[in-house]
Chains A and B, each alone.
Chain A
Protein backbone atom coordinates (compact mmCIF):
# COMPACT_ATOMS: atom_id res chain seq x y z
CA UNK A 1 0.00 0.00 0.00
CA UNK A 2 0.93 3.65 -0.13
CA UNK A 3 3.52 4.84 2.31
CA UNK A 4 4.04 8.24 3.91
CA UNK A 5 4.35 10.95 1.31
CA UNK A 6 5.82 14.42 1.68
CA UNK A 7 5.84 17.47 -0.51
CA UNK A 8 7.72 19.23 -1.84
CA UNK A 9 10.75 16.98 -2.03
CA UNK A 10 13.01 20.01 -2.25
CA UNK A 11 12.44 23.60 -1.25
CA UNK A 12 14.83 26.50 -1.69
CA UNK A 13 13.82 29.76 -0.07
CA UNK A 14 15.29 33.07 0.89
CA UNK A 15 16.01 34.04 4.45
CA UNK A 16 12.99 35.66 6.04
CA UNK A 17 10.38 33.93 3.89
CA UNK A 18 7.73 31.56 5.23
CA UNK A 19 7.54 27.93 4.07
CA UNK A 20 4.98 25.16 4.37
CA UNK A 21 5.86 21.48 4.29
CA UNK A 22 3.20 18.85 3.80
CA UNK A 23 2.88 15.28 5.03
CA UNK A 24 0.35 12.61 4.05
CA UNK A 25 0.52 9.74 6.54
CA UNK A 26 -0.38 6.13 5.90
CA UNK A 27 -4.14 5.76 5.80
CA UNK A 28 -5.53 4.68 9.15
CA UNK A 29 -2.50 5.70 11.18
CA UNK A 30 -3.54 7.78 14.15
CA UNK A 31 -0.12 9.08 15.17
CA UNK A 32 2.00 11.50 13.15
CA UNK A 33 5.48 12.80 13.92
CA UNK A 34 7.79 15.43 12.50
CA UNK A 35 11.56 15.12 12.82
CA UNK A 36 14.43 17.16 11.47
CA UNK A 37 17.73 15.79 10.16
CA UNK A 38 20.63 18.18 9.96
CA UNK A 39 24.40 17.83 9.92
CA UNK A 40 24.90 19.63 13.18
CA UNK A 41 22.03 18.22 15.21
CA UNK A 42 21.45 14.76 13.77
CA UNK A 43 17.90 13.46 13.85
CA UNK A 44 15.71 15.35 16.30
CA UNK A 45 12.06 15.18 17.25
CA UNK A 46 9.92 18.22 16.55
CA UNK A 47 6.24 17.55 17.18
CA UNK A 48 3.76 14.69 17.64
CA UNK A 49 0.05 14.35 16.92
CA UNK A 50 -2.11 11.59 18.36
CA UNK A 51 -5.70 11.43 17.21
CA UNK A 52 -7.68 14.39 18.50
CA UNK A 53 -5.40 15.06 21.47
CA UNK A 54 -3.42 18.25 21.83
CA UNK A 55 -0.09 17.87 20.02
CA UNK A 56 3.19 17.53 21.85
CA UNK A 57 5.19 20.52 20.65
CA UNK A 58 8.10 20.01 23.02
CA UNK A 59 10.65 19.56 20.24
CA UNK A 60 9.92 22.70 18.24
CA UNK A 61 13.08 24.82 18.31
CA UNK A 62 11.39 28.22 18.31
CA UNK A 63 8.01 29.93 18.01
CA UNK A 64 8.68 30.39 14.30
CA UNK A 65 7.78 26.72 13.91
CA UNK A 66 4.21 25.50 14.00
CA UNK A 67 2.27 22.52 12.72
CA UNK A 68 -1.28 21.45 12.31
CA UNK A 69 -3.05 18.27 11.39
CA UNK A 70 -6.39 18.55 9.67
CA UNK A 71 -9.06 15.89 9.97
CA UNK A 72 -6.66 13.54 11.70
CA UNK A 73 -4.79 12.98 8.46
CA UNK A 74 -2.69 15.46 6.48
CA UNK A 75 -0.24 17.61 8.41
CA UNK A 76 1.47 20.87 7.53
CA UNK A 77 4.66 22.12 9.17
CA UNK A 78 5.08 25.88 8.82
CA UNK A 79 8.30 27.77 9.38
CA UNK A 80 7.96 31.53 9.52
CA UNK A 81 10.75 34.00 8.81
CA UNK A 82 13.15 31.22 7.84
CA UNK A 83 16.76 31.40 8.95
CA UNK A 84 19.80 29.67 7.48
CA UNK A 85 20.00 27.35 10.49
CA UNK A 86 16.58 25.98 9.49
CA UNK A 87 18.22 24.29 6.50
CA UNK A 88 17.72 20.56 7.00
CA UNK A 89 15.76 17.56 5.83
CA UNK A 90 12.33 17.51 7.46
CA UNK A 91 10.99 14.01 7.96
CA UNK A 92 7.44 12.97 8.67
CA UNK A 93 6.50 9.61 10.15
CA UNK A 94 3.28 7.89 11.08
CA UNK A 95 2.36 4.92 13.22
CA UNK A 96 -0.79 2.97 13.84
CA UNK A 97 -1.41 3.94 17.45
CA UNK A 98 1.44 6.07 18.72
CA UNK A 99 0.42 5.80 22.33
CA UNK A 100 2.44 2.61 22.60
CA UNK A 101 6.20 2.66 22.44
CA UNK A 102 6.18 -0.67 20.61
CA UNK A 103 4.69 0.83 17.47
CA UNK A 104 6.86 1.07 14.38
CA UNK A 105 7.10 4.50 12.81
CA UNK A 106 7.07 4.64 9.03
CA UNK A 107 8.98 7.51 7.52
CA UNK A 108 8.39 9.56 4.43
CA UNK A 109 11.16 10.49 1.98
CA UNK A 110 11.59 13.93 3.55
CA UNK A 111 11.62 17.51 2.35
CA UNK A 112 15.05 19.05 1.89
CA UNK A 113 14.85 22.71 2.88
CA UNK A 114 17.60 25.10 1.89
CA UNK A 115 17.50 28.66 3.20
CA UNK A 116 19.73 31.02 1.27
Chain B
Protein backbone atom coordinates (compact mmCIF):
# COMPACT_ATOMS: atom_id res chain seq x y z
CA UNK B 1 0.00 0.00 0.00
CA UNK B 2 0.86 3.66 0.01
CA UNK B 3 3.36 4.93 2.56
CA UNK B 4 5.07 8.14 3.59
CA UNK B 5 8.43 8.76 5.23
CA UNK B 6 8.60 12.13 6.85
CA UNK B 7 11.48 13.89 8.53
CA UNK B 8 11.52 13.10 12.20
CA UNK B 9 11.14 15.88 14.66
CA UNK B 10 10.89 17.75 16.72
CA UNK B 11 12.46 20.57 14.80
CA UNK B 12 13.42 23.67 16.74
CA UNK B 13 14.40 26.87 14.94
CA UNK B 14 14.94 30.51 15.68
CA UNK B 15 12.70 33.06 14.05
CA UNK B 16 13.74 33.95 10.47
CA UNK B 17 15.62 30.67 10.02
CA UNK B 18 15.24 28.54 6.89
CA UNK B 19 13.01 25.49 7.18
CA UNK B 20 13.06 22.20 5.31
CA UNK B 21 10.91 19.21 6.22
CA UNK B 22 11.66 16.21 4.04
CA UNK B 23 8.95 13.92 2.74
CA UNK B 24 9.22 10.92 0.45
CA UNK B 25 6.38 8.63 -0.52
CA UNK B 26 5.45 5.42 -2.26
CA UNK B 27 2.09 5.29 -3.96
CA UNK B 28 0.35 3.43 -6.74
CA UNK B 29 -0.53 5.32 -9.87
CA UNK B 30 -0.23 9.07 -9.94
CA UNK B 31 -1.10 10.58 -6.57
CA UNK B 32 -1.70 14.17 -5.62
CA UNK B 33 0.49 15.42 -2.80
CA UNK B 34 -0.57 17.44 0.21
CA UNK B 35 0.89 19.14 3.24
CA UNK B 36 -1.51 19.56 6.14
CA UNK B 37 -0.80 21.58 9.28
CA UNK B 38 -2.17 21.32 12.80
CA UNK B 39 -1.69 24.42 14.92
CA UNK B 40 -1.84 24.06 18.71
CA UNK B 41 -5.41 23.47 19.82
CA UNK B 42 -6.75 23.57 16.27
CA UNK B 43 -7.90 21.09 13.68
CA UNK B 44 -6.07 19.78 10.67
CA UNK B 45 -6.01 22.17 7.75
CA UNK B 46 -4.59 22.17 4.27
CA UNK B 47 -1.34 24.09 3.89
CA UNK B 48 -0.62 23.43 0.21
CA UNK B 49 -0.93 20.82 -2.49
CA UNK B 50 0.39 19.80 -5.90
CA UNK B 51 -1.45 17.57 -8.31
CA UNK B 52 1.08 16.76 -11.03
CA UNK B 53 4.79 16.37 -11.52
CA UNK B 54 6.92 19.53 -11.24
CA UNK B 55 3.99 21.51 -9.86
CA UNK B 56 4.86 23.79 -6.95
CA UNK B 57 2.33 24.29 -4.21
CA UNK B 58 2.65 27.44 -2.12
CA UNK B 59 0.86 29.16 0.73
CA UNK B 60 1.81 31.47 3.62
CA UNK B 61 5.42 31.54 2.42
CA UNK B 62 5.69 27.74 2.37
CA UNK B 63 6.53 25.88 -0.83
CA UNK B 64 6.82 22.29 -1.96
CA UNK B 65 7.54 20.87 -5.40
CA UNK B 66 6.15 17.57 -6.70
CA UNK B 67 9.23 15.55 -7.68
CA UNK B 68 8.05 12.39 -9.39
CA UNK B 69 11.54 11.13 -10.22
CA UNK B 70 12.57 11.15 -6.57
CA UNK B 71 9.04 10.59 -5.17
CA UNK B 72 9.52 13.54 -2.86
CA UNK B 73 7.53 16.57 -1.73
CA UNK B 74 9.80 18.50 0.63
CA UNK B 75 8.35 21.47 2.48
CA UNK B 76 10.38 24.69 2.64
CA UNK B 77 10.06 28.18 4.02
CA UNK B 78 12.69 30.85 3.74
CA UNK B 79 12.03 32.65 7.01
CA UNK B 80 9.94 31.02 9.72
CA UNK B 81 7.90 32.89 12.32
CA UNK B 82 6.85 31.97 15.83
CA UNK B 83 3.32 31.58 14.49
CA UNK B 84 4.51 28.71 12.26
CA UNK B 85 4.95 26.50 15.31
CA UNK B 86 2.73 23.52 14.58
CA UNK B 87 2.70 19.88 13.49
CA UNK B 88 3.16 19.32 9.76
CA UNK B 89 1.90 16.25 7.91
CA UNK B 90 2.83 15.10 4.44
CA UNK B 91 0.15 13.03 2.66
CA UNK B 92 -0.18 11.57 -0.80
CA UNK B 93 -3.68 10.97 -2.05
CA UNK B 94 -4.59 7.67 -3.74
CA UNK B 95 -3.13 7.55 -7.20
CA UNK B 96 -5.43 5.12 -8.93
CA UNK B 97 -8.68 5.55 -7.11
CA UNK B 98 -10.18 8.04 -4.77
CA UNK B 99 -8.66 10.63 -2.54
CA UNK B 100 -7.84 8.62 0.55
CA UNK B 101 -4.93 10.30 2.35
CA UNK B 102 -1.99 8.36 3.74
CA UNK B 103 -0.34 10.49 6.40
CA UNK B 104 3.26 10.68 7.49
CA UNK B 105 3.98 10.55 11.19
CA UNK B 106 4.03 14.33 11.46
CA UNK B 107 6.86 16.75 12.24
CA UNK B 108 6.62 19.01 15.24
CA UNK B 109 8.05 22.45 14.53
CA UNK B 110 8.83 24.92 17.30
CA UNK B 111 10.02 28.40 16.42
CA UNK B 112 11.59 30.55 19.12
CA UNK B 113 11.75 34.36 19.01
Interface residues of A (CB under 8 A from B): 31, 33, 35, 42-45, 48, 50, 56, 91, 93, 95, 98-110
Out of A35, A91, A101, name the residue touching B94 (CB < 8 Å): A101
Residues of B participating in the A interface, judged by any CB pair closer than 8 Å: 30-32, 34, 36, 42-46, 49, 51, 89, 93-95, 97-106
The residue of chain B having its C-beta at the shortest distance from the C-beta of A95 within the complex is: B99
SS class, residues of chain A in contact with chain B: strand
Given contacts A107-B43, A108-B43, contact A101 B102 (CB under 8 A): no
Q: How many A-B residue pairs have CB under 8 A?
A: 66
**Could you list 24 A-B pairs, sorted by A, with CB under 8 Å?**
A31-B98, A35-B101, A42-B103, A42-B104, A42-B106, A43-B106, A48-B98, A91-B43, A91-B44, A93-B44, A98-B99, A99-B97, A99-B99, A100-B99, A101-B30, A101-B31, A101-B51, A101-B95, A101-B97, A101-B99, A102-B32, A102-B99, A107-B44, A109-B43
Q: Is the beta-carbon distance between B106 and A33 smaller than 8 angstroms?
A: no
Interchain CA distance A104-B32 in the complex, whole Å: 10
Complex formed: what's the CA distance from A34 to B88 in Å? Answer: 19
Given A43-B106, A45-B102, A102 and B51 touching (CB < 8 A)?
yes
Q: Which residues does chain A contribute within 8 Å of B95, judged by CB atoms?
A: 101
Please state if A107 and B45 are interface contacts (CB–CB under 8 Å).
yes
Besides A33-B100, A98-B98, A102-B49, 15 other A-B contacts (C-beta < 8 A) = A44-B103, A48-B100, A56-B100, A91-B43, A91-B44, A98-B99, A99-B97, A100-B98, A101-B32, A101-B94, A102-B93, A103-B93, A104-B46, A104-B49, A107-B44
